[in-house]
Amino acid sequence: MMKYFKEGRMSVKSNILEAHWYHKIKLPGGVVTPGNDWDYLWDNIRDAKKNVNYTEKEVLDLGAMEGLWAFEAEQSGASRVITVDRDLRCSEKLLYCKGQLGSAVKPFFNVPIERLEERIGDHGPFDIVQHLGLLYHLMDPLSSLFKCRALVREGGLLVMETAVERSLGTSALIFNGVKPADFDLDKHPYWWRMYNGGHPQWMVTMPCLKEMMLSAGFVPMLETISFADQPSTSAINEDAADMRYDRCRVALVAKAVDSSDITQKVIDEIMTS
């Protein structure tokens, strides 16, 4: 079993900037890590985050990868930032950036969302939880929202970004499909419903995303909702002519409230907007 690292301290390779990165992170000296050119995605998240005041706030960043959003939260004035990720794929890079930036961000590795409260509960509650680019990868996306609500203070915020289906007016959670063992992309037509990839992925409709948030104790702030079209970006997200759904990305902020505050009036306002 992989060892659980509380606060990682490990050596980094001298050629780390030659490796594959997910995020583009600005480092001292004009250095930018060689991440994906997905500015449309990053900028959409930043549009939603303009509605969040990070000054002196305690922040939890889920699925941190190399730590872009954690470092930005710290640079925006957060007093404490904790990151979690389920494995160590990006740990060395996160620690490299942490050192280069002189950051106080505290990374926790080997923390799956399913065990979030067990591993991180003693470090909460938090003012802000960042749930970015993660929901559609999870085995149980709804459960992740309840776990977030357990760790955020009442009145605190959830910053959400995920894939969404925007043309269907019904509440639905659409599964990507199951990849057969003998599938050959070069010989067979595109078959996945949403993504060119066989690993578990979901796509929510907007009514479903709103209902999931409300059920977990988060009220979406309608004025923060920001959409971005998702063009073909790589083999993983490449679209095809027979795609059945209108896939895009959504970023928004939701407020953590007491269950008694989610009245019929609130639900009607959220679900009809």
CA 260 to chain centre: 27
Does residue 8 register a pLDDT over 80?
Answer: no
Q: Report yes or no on 17 lying in a domain.
A: no
Q: Report yes or no on 12 lying in a domain.
A: no
Q: Report yes or no on 204 lying in a domain.
A: yes
Does residue 241 register a pLDDT over 70?
Answer: no
- CATH code at position 145: 3.40.50.150
Does residue 35 register a pLDDT over 60?
Answer: yes
Rounded Cα gap, residues 125 and 19, in angstroms: 35
Q: Report yes or no on 5 lying in a domain.
A: no
- pLDDT-derived band at 243, boundaries 50, 70, 90: low
pLDDT at 181: 72
Domain count, the chain: 1
Residue numbers of the domain that contains 191: 22-271
Q: Report yes or no on 3 lying in a domain.
A: no
